[in-house]
A and B are shown apart, each in its own frame.
Chain A
Amino acid sequence: MSKNTSPEKQKHWLYREENRRTLWIIQFAILFIAILPEFFMHHHASFEAQGIHLDASSTFYAWYGFATCAAMVLGAKLLGYVLKRKDDYYDD
């Protein structure tokens, strides 16, 4: 239960300010481990016949995943300026 006494200690460790840095470090460590196989393996190209080799290039999936998601978040943000309305917009 969230009591008012010593709020920082009452919090779950995920929410403590001091652990925020650790969580980011863990995330970067996981990303690094995910990239490691790129040093050893080659991906097979799905579109050799069309002359496209992009999907077989090193770290393609990593940067493509990041870049397209960043684009979608930014795209949604921009569209939001046009499309967002108060959530009682349709109420009478």
Chain B
Amino acid sequence: MNSLVIPPGLILILGGLLLPWLTPRLRSFAAIGFPLLTLMMVWLVTPEHSMKLAFLDYELDILHLTSEGRVFATVFAMMAGIGALYALKHARILELSAAFVYAGSAIGVTFCGDLISFFVFWEIMAIGSTLVIWANCHQNKRAYGASMRYLLVHLLGGVILMIGIAAHVANTGSVEFTAMKADNFATIMIMIGFLINAGAPPFSAWIADAYPEASPSGTVFLSAFTTKTAVFALLMGFPGESILIYVGMYMVFYGIIYALLENDMRRILAYSIVNQVGFMVVAIGIGSELALNGATAHAFAHIIYKGLLLMSAGSVLLMTGKRKCTDLGGLFQSMPVTAINGIIGALAISAVPLTSGFVTKSLETSAAAEAGLPWVWFMLVAASAGVFLHAGIKFPWFVFFQKDSGLRPPDPPWNMRLAMWIMSFLCILIGIVPGIIYGILPYTLDYKPYTVDHVVTQMQLLLFAGFAFFALLALMKRTLTISLDLDWFYRKLMFGLIIWIKENIPQLIAPVITGFKNFGQRKFDRLVRVHGPQGILARTWPSASMVLWVAVLLAVMMILHYMRPD
């Protein structure tokens, strides 16, 4: 056993906490160095490694290698590094620091062998990502509200997940994180907890609500980790759960329709995340080896090309200060590097031959065919055409072409251009040499993406989808609008109801609040009676673990103190 091996995620988490204390020069090196170190560590871990921790009566393992986890951890570490390069000059230290903690805990999730440490990393991710959005409060007055709504959705997801885990442990006595069947209360709760983070209905709106309110680099970080960690969790926890086919299919078309209606360029791309994650969720629902390979490979490729698209959009936002399609257009003339890289990302997401999308997404459609599910196949093919429509053409067309907005900003600074070129290179490299990604997938794969039939049919599908776009361009005229989503129920209806009660029947308020308080007190008293002196929390703990937790609390308080908004 190699004593040098530590959980890779911890390097990034600790590195992120260290960043604020470094000098600016050292920080630039550290921002690239920590992700590189993490990436190396991901590949040093072998299946024999483990790091066992004792918690209550359970044994946790935070160094548990799976081939699926390694693929996700690899691309997470790459994204942290290239994202940091992109963020280097403009991002606030809080954002970069939070992004590293966020990325590190996402990697932590991929190395968890048990549900308890899984949950801890899962929740640190929620905090890290909220801080990434929060870091943009001084630039964007909508960021604060969006970050709080984001946090509420994730805390709700976390509570549901915790309920599921507790019930699951009570049922089975095991904390091991392994494939489950959603056939009882506990596992159904766990699956719902995962799905909320994936952007599944009825909680899909948070992605387009929160992500585009972060800074240009913040949105790049956000796009990579939360939803794809949820894909990883579903992949490991619920492969072949057929309900996921329907959930994923809804997400696929939800993403397309809402992206078609959207005017804000980064919200278009945020809806497109739901669409792409939908493909992966469908594949997990199919559950064959080919399908699971497809979901893994697609997640890897998607993180890179979606990061690239958001880098391109972020560059436009940074250089013009504008984010709405109605204000943009004609930027290819003065921002050629941003436009070219944006187009490469758009081609990759559309699965054009020679790009990463072509060699990965086709695994999922082939899996639907192999599994003998014609309706799934026909809908996924239609959706592939729809991806070209809403992300492949719509994004570059309305931002870089359409009418000439008269804006002539230059390309962004060198670090951002370099980050985009690296991402473009990766999109094309994977497209040309798919063996790179096929070789690290969980199951052995014998698949030839480049057959004449596949290339020809894919080009026909996409070119005629593109024709539909230009033929119906008049129907897609941009308007200064947003589209209502299911978040209307908590943002408008419930809020309005409370205001209405407050104004019209204020005498109701006091009894309701007192009622709530008494209810909570009664439950708490019962808890103390039943579980108090003899309960789990009253047992003697080793003083070492107490010291550890005090240290953790102190560290968290110190970070929070440091990070309070200016």
B460 touches A65 (CB 8 A): yes
Known contacts A64-B385, A65-B385, A86 near B480 by CB under 8 Å = yes
Cβ of A52 to closest chain B Cβ, rounded Å = 5
Considering the chains assembled together, what is the distance between the CA atoms of A91 and B388 in angstroms? Answer: 32
Q: For the complex, is A46 an interface residue (Cβ under 8 Å from B)?
A: yes
B464 touches A31 (CB 8 A): yes
B475 touches A64 (CB 8 A): no
Chain B contact residues, CB within 8 Å of chain A: 142, 253, 256-257, 260-261, 263-264, 324, 330, 333, 369, 372, 374, 377-378, 381-382, 385-386, 388-389, 401, 404, 406, 408, 452-453, 456-465, 467-472, 475-476, 479-485, 491-492
Cβ of A86 to closest chain B Cβ, rounded Å = 6
A55-92 interface mask toward B, CB cutoff 8 Å, 1 = contact, 0 = none?
Answer: 10001111111101110111111011011111101110
Give chain A residues whose Cβ lies under 8 Å from the Cβ of B476.
73, 77
Question: Most chain-A Cβ atoms within 10 A of its Cβ — which of B261, B458, B468?
Answer: B468
B260 touches A50 (CB 8 A): no
Give chain B residues whose Cβ lies under 8 Å from the Cβ of A37.
452, 456
B468 touches A47 (CB 8 A): no
A46 touches B464 (CB 8 A): no
Known contacts A15-B330, A69-B386, A87 near B263 by CB under 8 Å = yes
B372 touches A11 (CB 8 A): no
Specify the chain B residue showing the minimal Cβ separation from A49: B372
Contact partner of B374 (CB less than 8 A), chosen from A52, A59, A60, A66, is: A52
B385 touches A87 (CB 8 A): no
Cβ of A91 to closest chain B Cβ, rounded Å = 8
Considering the chains assembled together, what is the distance between the CA atoms of A72 and B168 in angstroms? Answer: 41
A61 touches B461 (CB 8 A): yes
Listed A/B pairs (9) with beta-carbon separation below 8 Å: A2-B404, A43-B457, A49-B372, A60-B457, A64-B461, A70-B471, A73-B260, A75-B257, A87-B482
A64 touches B456 (CB 8 A): no
Interchain pairs with CB closer than 8 A, number: 148
Give chain B residues whose Cβ lies under 8 Å from the Cβ of A44.
453
A35 touches B469 (CB 8 A): no
A64 touches B381 (CB 8 A): yes
Give chain B residues whose Cβ lies under 8 Å from the Cβ of A62.
460-461, 463-464
Known contacts A11-B404, A15-B404, A74 near B475 by CB under 8 Å = yes
Question: Most chain-A Cβ atoms within 10 A of its Cβ — which of B464, B475, B484?
Answer: B464
B483 touches A84 (CB 8 A): yes
Contact partner of B461 (CB less than 8 A), chosen from A65, A75, A76, is: A65
Cβ of A68 to closest chain B Cβ, rounded Å = 4
Give chain B residues whose Cβ lies under 8 Å from the Cβ of A35.
460
Give chain A residues whose Cβ lies under 8 Å from the Cβ of B452.
37, 41
Specify the chain A residue showing the minimal Cβ separation from B326: A87
B472 touches A61 (CB 8 A): no
B372 touches A73 (CB 8 A): no
A69 touches B468 (CB 8 A): yes
Contact partner of A64 (CB less than 8 A), chosen from B253, B382, B406, is: B382
Contact partner of A76 (CB less than 8 A), chosen from B261, B324, B462, is: B261
Considering the chains assembled together, what is the distance between the CA atoms of A45 and B475 in angstroms? Answer: 35
Cβ of B289 to closest chain A Cβ, rounded Å = 18
Cβ of A4 to closest chain B Cβ, rounded Å = 11
Q: For the complex, is A25 an interface residue (Cβ under 8 Å from B)?
A: no
Cβ of A50 to closest chain B Cβ, rounded Å = 5
Give chain A residues whose Cβ lies under 8 Å from the Cβ of B369.
46-47
Q: For the complex, is A6 an interface residue (Cβ under 8 Å from B)?
A: no
Cβ of B470 to closest chain A Cβ, rounded Å = 7
Give chain A residues whose Cβ lies under 8 Å from the Cβ of B385.
64-65, 68-69
Which 8 residue pairs spanning A and B have beta carbons closest together? Answer: A69-B468, A46-B369, A68-B382, A65-B464, A76-B260, A65-B461, A61-B460, A66-B464
Known contacts A30-B463, A62-B464, A79-B257, A12 near B404 by CB under 8 Å = yes
B377 touches A46 (CB 8 A): yes
Considering the chains assembled together, what is the distance between the CA atoms of A73 and B393 in angstroms? Answer: 13
Give chain A residues whose Cβ lies under 8 Å from the Cβ of B482.
84-87, 89-90
Considering the chains assembled together, what is the distance between the CA atoms of A30 and B257 in angstroms? Answer: 27
Considering the chains assembled together, what is the distance between the CA atoms of A35 and B559 in angstroms? Answer: 61
B481 touches A87 (CB 8 A): yes
A84 touches B479 (CB 8 A): yes
A61 touches B481 (CB 8 A): no
B462 touches A65 (CB 8 A): yes
- Which residues in window 7-61 of A have CB below 8 A to B? 11-12, 14-15, 27, 30-31, 34-35, 37, 41, 43-44, 46-47, 49-50, 52, 55, 59-61
Considering the chains assembled together, what is the distance between the CA atoms of A44 and B457 in angstroms? Answer: 11
B468 touches A65 (CB 8 A): yes
Specify the chain B residue showing the minimal Cβ separation from A1: B408
Considering the chains assembled together, what is the distance between the CA atoms of A55 and B333 in angstroms? Answer: 41
B453 touches A41 (CB 8 A): yes
Cβ of B415 to closest chain A Cβ, rounded Å = 27
Considering the chains assembled together, what is the distance between the CA atoms of A15 and B460 in angstroms? Answer: 27
Cβ of B175 to closest chain A Cβ, rounded Å = 41
A34 touches B470 (CB 8 A): no
A72 touches B386 (CB 8 A): yes
Cβ of B468 to closest chain A Cβ, rounded Å = 4
B261 touches A84 (CB 8 A): yes
Give chain A residues whose Cβ lies under 8 Å from the Cβ of B401.
14
Contact partner of A84 (CB less than 8 A), chosen from B324, B465, B481, is: B481
Cβ of B483 to closest chain A Cβ, rounded Å = 4
Considering the chains assembled together, what is the distance between the CA atoms of A65 and B388 in angstroms? Answer: 10
Considering the chains assembled together, what is the distance between the CA atoms of A82 and B470 in angstroms? Answer: 24
Considering the chains assembled together, what is the distance between the CA atoms of A41 and B264 in angstroms? Answer: 43
Specify the chain B residue showing the minimal Cβ separation from A70: B468
Known contacts A12-B333, A65-B465, A72 near B256 by CB under 8 Å = yes
